[in-house]
Homo-oligomer: A and B are copies of this chain.
């Protein structure tokens, strides 16, 4: 077994043992899936967005996940307060800029939130990472028009700006912080036919960041687990309804051996 697989497994054991409370301010489409994915991994999820209570909730949580998939004014107000509070308390912030680049509203909100409280990890597809880095990227709604490798320079620029980790997910996942790069080649194309798999990756990153303060490692581990659980699920049945169910089962049943067997991680 490689050192990396052991290190991933150590984090999973910590998540299962500690069941860290992960505070999600996320979109309506994926709330159920990401809560179930966090539970299947061993974490304790909660979805709390009201400005009246997000600061209280951040205070008792181990990580904050912010996802702009179905933005509106109430949610944006909650995100502002929660991110500021997480920053003040030193809790990890994971940010998912769903659909940034598609509308001015998403661009403005993302820019404002990033300036308010630099996320410890940002995860997006190539279009989103390029748009967030200020490049004039093209998007197709919430889907990327580029392979993940096209956004590596943008990710590095964004990491320099925030000081945090930037993850570009796609057929190949790039995890970038400063000069460091890890590359995950796990996963399966059918995962793009299930809504919110990217959002799930972001949520799981929150769980790993809650137990591993090396956020570069935490993000790498989360992307590896996503990809491996996805592969296991597709092998059960290559169809999108089944994949959604089998992915949760695979996360729950994940073993150290499966990780060691399947992990496709390199450092560049």
Contacts and interface: CB of A to CB of B under 8 A. Distances in A.
A115 interface: no
A245 B36 CA distance: 13
A177 interface: no
A50 interface: yes
A129 interface: no
Interface in A222-247: 237, 239-242, 244-247
A201 interface: no
A113 interface: no
A28 interface: yes
Number of copies of this protein chain within its complex: 3
Contact of A60 (B27, B71, B141): B141
A49 B32 contact: no
A21 B140 contact: yes
Contacts of A45: 141, 195
Nearest to A57: B103
Contact of A239 (B32, B49, B194, B249): B249
Given A36-B244, A47-B70, 19 more contacts: A27-B47, A32-B196, A39-B240, A40-B193, A40-B241, A46-B99, A48-B103, A49-B72, A50-B73, A50-B105, A51-B72, A52-B72, A52-B103, A56-B104, A60-B102, A239-B253, A240-B249, A241-B244, A241-B246
